[in-house]
Amino acid sequence: MSGIVCVRMNWDRTAIPLPIQRYHMLHFGPEPGHPFGRRGLAMAGAWQQLGGDSAGMLVLDGDVVIDPVDHDAMFAAIDKEPDAVHVAPVKLWPVSTHLDGWVWGHGLEFFSAKDPSRPDRFSFCYTYLPKRLLEACIKSGMDEWHYPGVDQKVSKVCRELGIPIRVARSCQPKHLNYA
């Protein structure tokens, strides 16, 4: 399998420090006309600059923490099926989702506390996106997508292309935006 581009999304320089060296830090933040930044532009630009012959991109959000076991487990999952999206099971908290309780960062038709085995949507948190999906998203205007719709639009393109979404059950990252 070709290499994988690993990126750490650092919104407004608030990413939780992690001692993992392999991740490229992508800084993005508020801009005039884009108070929540342009995440799509940051991701598209990273792929265009770093992607090359890589199989895909592993996205780690700044408010999510992993350990070396999570990292190795995700790479093992990707190695088994590099053309699929791989999402780590992450609980998202109401402060981020504005819902009444926590929900999984992957869902079937919508996000909930039910953990589907075959999700059809995902948030990024800790997610691998294969090359085919990234290139289709860039062709669909990813560089113009911004929060809160980037993960929703990537999920939609994924469904349209029929790319499977797999839950990397051996990963146990934590979303720390709960207060």
**CATH number of domain containing 73:** 3.90.550.50
> What is the structure's pLDDT at 36?
79
- Is there a domain that residue 95 lies in? no
Domain count, the chain: 1
Place of tokens 């979303």: 175
pTM of the predicted structure, to 2 decimals: 0.95
Q: Where in the sequence is the domain holding 80, given as residue range(s)?
A: 4-89+117-171
Residue 173 backbone dihedrals phi, psi, to 5 degrees = -70, 165
Examine residue 61 and state whether it is found in any structural domain, yes or no. yes
* 8 A C-beta contact, residue 37 and residue 146: yes
Using the predicted structure, report yes or no on whether residue 137 has a pLDDT greater than 70.
yes
Q: What does the pLDDT look like over 49-70, one tens digit per residue?
A: 999 999 999 999 999 999 999 9
In a domain, 94, yes or no: no
Question: Is the per-residue pLDDT at 138 higher than 90?
Answer: yes
Instruction: Determine the pLDDT at residue 108.
Output: 97
Q: Report if residue 71 sits inside a domain.
A: yes
For residue 127, give the nearest of 2, 43, 50, 49 by alpha carbon.
Answer: 43
pLDDT in tens, 21-42: 889 999 998 888 887 789 999 9
CA–CA separation, 86 and 21 (whole Å): 21
Is 104 inside any structural domain?
A: no
What is the predicted pLDDT for the residue at 2?
62
Is residue 107 included in any domain, yes or no? no
Residue 148, pLDDT score: 81
Specify if 99 maps to a domain.
no
pLDDT band at 177 (very low <50, low <70, confident <90, very high): confident
**pLDDT at position 159:** 98
Res 82 pLDDT > 70: yes
Q: How far is CA 54 from CA 2, 139, 162, in A?
A: 5, 18, 21
Examine residue 22 and state whether it is found in any structural domain, yes or no. Answer: yes
